[in-house]
């Protein structure tokens, strides 16, 4: 099978398209033929060697991708919850692995997979696993919403956008921080909008999807909560503020709820562009350049 890997970290040119042996599902696993794979900032961080330097990667070559969408083509022993032909999505956690969803096929734990509603396209479904799971698990760290005032940074981004929709559904009073050009898109979520950190307003909690760190922490009241999305970039706690970070973990049951929410309109998945796996280098150049909204999604079979 064809897969995108990185042996020598660097820029987009460091990505290699190689042929690997087709994987075989083991106990509790399923084999997917992949239809879509999300392209996320964490993939650029993996490609550039950040996690190698942190000692999180021991593999000689590392695979890319966290969002997997595909069709079950084989089952390993003990799998009874899924059948061949079903279309599923999964979050593939961690960075120390030989290959990832940037591939034609993948073996995944059946318990990490979730059925995709028929009304939700594969490319839209591929925006859900990492970003929406991160948002949900980050909000869970904040505890009871109770009408508390929450600031979401990066409010127009993948994690931030889902965080606003989920937080409002839970009962938080949400303000989204984003660029002025994103005021309309953030406003459509029902959240308040700001394009700068309001120095005269302190929030009960901040979900720092943009990873701006100390500046976001300064907007939290004494004894409030800060949750980041990059564990190694969490600011030191001050003024009794609880600081935590989330590293998204696979959860098939949660993912099913999030996919259903997207299918019913409670969550709004956004795709910037769909590109073939053969153009993965261009996809990463686009990712590095930034300035767009919605996820880049790869078609692994092209």
pLDDT digits (tens, 9 = 90+) for 27-82: 999 999 999 999 999 999 999 998 899 899 988 899 999 999 999 999 999 999 99
Q: What is the CATH number of the domain that holds 227?
A: 3.40.50.720
- 266-283 tens-digit pLDDT: 999 999 999 999 999 999
More confident residue, 114 or 197: 114
- 112-133 tens-digit pLDDT: 999 999 999 999 999 999 999 9
Q: What is the mean pLDDT of the chain?
A: 94
**228 band by pLDDT with thresholds 50, 70 and 90:** very high
Burial class (CB in 10 A: 0-12, 13-18, 19+), 252: buried
146 and 180, same domain (yes or no): yes
Residue 16: is its pLDDT beyond 80? yes
- 141-191 tens-digit pLDDT: 998 898 899 999 999 999 999 999 999 999 999 999 999 888 888 888 889
% of the chain residues with pLDDT over 70: 100
162 vs 164: CA distance, rounded Å: 5
106 and 224, same domain (yes or no): no
4 vs 299: CA distance, rounded Å: 12
Q: What is the CATH number of the domain that holds 124?
A: 3.90.180.10
Residue 50 is part of which domain span? 2-130+250-299
The full DSSP string for 153-206 is ESTTSHHHHHHHHHHHHHT-EEEEE--GGGHHHHHTTT-EEESS--TT--EEEE
3-state secondary structure of 25: coil
% of the chain residues with pLDDT over 90: 80
Q: In what order do the strands lie in the sheet with 203-208?
A: 192-194, 173-177, 149-153, 203-208, 220-228, 242-245
What is the β-pairing status of strands 29-39 and 15-19? unpaired
pLDDT of residue 134: 97
Residue 292: is its pLDDT beyond 90? no
61 occurs within a structural domain: yes
Provide the domain count of the chain.
2
137 occurs within a structural domain: no
Q: Where are the beta strands (DSSP E) in the chain?
A: 2-6, 15-19, 29-39, 62-63, 67-75, 87-91, 105-109, 113-115, 149-153, 173-177, 192-194, 203-208, 220-228, 242-245, 271-276, 295-299
pLDDT of residue 182: 87
225 and 283, same domain (yes or no): no
Looking up tokens 């686009």 gives 286
């Amino acid at each position: 099978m064809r897969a995108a890997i990185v042996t020598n970290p660097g820029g987009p040119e460091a990505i290699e398209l190689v042929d690997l042996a087709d994987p075989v599902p083991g106990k509790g696993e399923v084999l997917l033929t992949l239809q879509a794979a999300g392209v996320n900032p964490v993939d650029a961080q993996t490609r550039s060697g950040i996690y190698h330097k942190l000692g999180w990667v021991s593999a000689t070559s590392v695979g890319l991708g966290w969002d997997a969408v595909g069709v079950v083509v084989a089952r390993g022993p003990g799998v009874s919850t899924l059948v061949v032909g079903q279309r599923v999505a999964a979050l593939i956690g961690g960075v120390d692995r030989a290959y990832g969803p940037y591939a034609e096929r993948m073996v995944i734990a059946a318990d990490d997979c979730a059925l995709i509603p028929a009304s939700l396209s594969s490319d839209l479904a591929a925006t859900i696993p990492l970003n929406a799971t991160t948002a949900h698990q980050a909000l869970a760290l904040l505890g009871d919403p109770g009408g508390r005032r929450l600031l979401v940074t990066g409010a127009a981004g993948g994690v931030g956008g889902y965080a606003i929709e989920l937080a409002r559904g839970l009962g938080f009073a949400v303000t989204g921080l984003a660029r002025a050009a994103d005021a309309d898109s953030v406003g459509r979520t029902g959240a308040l909008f700001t394009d700068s950190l309001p120095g005269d307003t302190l929030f009960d909690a901040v979900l720092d999807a943009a990873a701006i760190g100390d500046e976001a922490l300064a907007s939290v009241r004494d004894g409030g909560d800060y949750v980041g999305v990059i564990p190694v970039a969490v600011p030191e706690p001050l003024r009794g503020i609880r600081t935590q970070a989330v590293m998204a973990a696979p959860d098939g049951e949660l993912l099913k709820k999030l996919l259903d929410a997207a299918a019913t309109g409670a969550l709004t998945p956004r795709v910037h562009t769909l590109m073939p796996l053969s153009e993965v280098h261009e996809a990463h150049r686009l990712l590095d350049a930034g300035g767009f909204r919605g996820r880049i999604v790869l078609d692994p079979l092209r």
